[in-house]
Amino acid sequence: MSRIGTNELLLIFAVALIVFGPSRLPVLGKFAGKTLGQLKGYVDKMTSEFEEMDADGSNNPKESPQKTSTVTAAQTQDDNE
């Protein structure tokens, strides 16, 4: 995946300026920056929680296997009678 260069950013800014106008553009930029900052905070929090779980080993299926039961057709037939 390629990164956005200077020319692409200028084109995006020009289109946004035409579409939204010069008065609404700063408000939209502030809103976008605040929203992206909150999203980054949520992602960082989730990442740290997953790393803590991994360090604790509390979510390791090898250490605590779950028992499963299988029901055979004969058992089901006995239960119905």
Residue 54 within any structural domain of the chain: yes
Decide if 48 is inside a domain: yes
Residues 5-52 have pLDDT tens digits of 999 989 999 999 999 999 999 999 999 999 999 999 999 999 999 888
DSSP state of 22: T
Confidence of residue 2 (pLDDT cuts 50, 70, 90): confident
Domain assignment of residue 53, yes or no: yes
Number of domains in the chain: 1
Indicate whether 16 belongs to any domain: no
Which domain range does residue 38 map to? 22-58
> Looking at the domain assignment, is residue 66 inside a domain?
no
The CA distance from 34 to 24, in Å, is 16
Look at residue 65 and tell me if it is in a domain.
Answer: no
pLDDT, residue 16, reads 92
Structural domain contains residue 45: yes
pTM of the model: 0.50
Residue pair 21/29 in contact by the 8 Å Cβ criterion: no
Q: Is residue 30 part of a domain?
A: yes
